[in-house]
Structure 1
Amino acid sequence: MKLFTYCSILWLLLNLSVERGECNNLSTTALIRNQLRLLEKVTEMLASKRQVVFHAEVGTTHQTFQKDNIWIYDKVITNVGNAYNPSTGKFTVPTNGIYQFHWYTLSDPKKLAHAGLFVNGRMKARQASNNSGSSNQWITAGSSIALPLKKGDEVYIRSVNAAWPTHLRGLWTAFGGVLIN
């Protein structure tokens, strides 16, 4: 929208100068220089609007994590901007902005899966999948949070239950995020 506005104003100024007979070499040169400066600014604005979005799942059939272990979502579905690392399980913020994150956990029957979303080692949100039912009961938990983050911040999910290891089911356990502003 800003590009359209800038170009429209420039077009209007050029046409007004020509209509009023004020189009000489100096005014034409100045208008062209202004147009080039505006186009450079618009190009910079568009280049700074990076798209960032990722979604990854636990790709294996079963994963077990101890407390304080970062959960590894190794099956990457989307990674626009390449900010999510499936080897470490960490999302490294590529540009300042507000990010929306989501994570879903499917725990094994009769097992627990307490997930915390961490930014630079500090927990910002959590969820619990307390599956203490029968051996055929599957419990899924999900959560979401929007956070203002700075370039270089690290975001990840890890176990927060001190007493028991976390047992996760693949393909149903996911983590993702998107730059929203």
Structure 2
Amino acid sequence: MGLRGDNCKGRERAIISFHARMTSDQQNLGNNAVVVFGKVTENSGSAYNGNAGKFTAPEDGIYSFTWTILTKPGKIFITNIVVNDTSNIVGYNYVNGRGGSHTFPTGSVTTIIKMKKNDKVWIRADGKHGEYAYGNWSSFSGFKLS
């Protein structure tokens, strides 16, 4: 069981949170491919599966998720956050290194999602635009708000 904290009503509740980075750079992902953040550094409540790249809500509630992608000049990496299937998109992240700059573009997005127990959330590649993401600089995290 994860850490415990007090809520406003004085009852204790389990803390549900996770943070993960890619284990390596990801390149040329296909349409709707799961973007796997396999290097898990925090997983209170054990709700995030680093092998599958998916978070499963252990209980009903409102959850916050943030993901960050870093690409390199000349590449693009577009992602979505989806709930339960690839047609239920609730957020977008567009990182474009094709603009002629020599910088390494990054993009971060935060979403708030009302979930039911056993709902699944993950990051997926959008279209054929999963060209390149730096592993150590790209991350996915989330926690239960209430």
Given that 2:78 and 2:92 are in contact with CA atoms closer than 8 Å, whether structure 1 keeps it comes out as: yes
Q: What does 1:21-170 align with in structure 2 at a 5 Å threshold?
A: 45-46=11-12, 49-60=13-24, 62-64=25-27, 65-121=29-85, 122-134=88-100, 136-160=102-126, 162-170=127-135
Q: Distance in 2 between the 1:135 and 1:74 partners?
A: 30
Greater relative CO, 1 or 2 (CA 8 Å, sep 6+)? 2
Runs of 4+ with deviation above 6 angstroms: none
Say which one has the larger Rg.
Answer: 1
The structure where strand makes up a greater share of residues is 2
Q: In structure 2, what residue type is equivalent to 1:63?
A: Q
Q: Which consecutive residues of structure 2, in runs of 5 or more, have no partner in the other structure? A: 1-7
Of all paired residues, the percent bearing the same amino acid is: 30
Q: Which consecutive residues of structure 1, in runs of 5 or more, have no partner in the other structure? A: 4-44
Given that 1:125 and 1:145 are in contact with CA atoms closer than 8 Å, whether structure 2 keeps it comes out as: yes
Given that 2:20 and 2:37 are in contact with CA atoms closer than 8 Å, whether structure 1 keeps it comes out as: yes
Q: Give the 3 Å change call, closer, same or farther, for CA 169–97 of structure 1 in structure 2.
A: same
Q: Distance in 1 between the 2:54 and 2:112 partners?
A: 17
Q: Distance in 2 between the 1:105 and 1:114 partners?
A: 9
Aligned residues: 136
> Cα distance, 1:127 vs. partner?
1.1
Report the TM-score, using the length of structure 1 for normalisation: 0.71
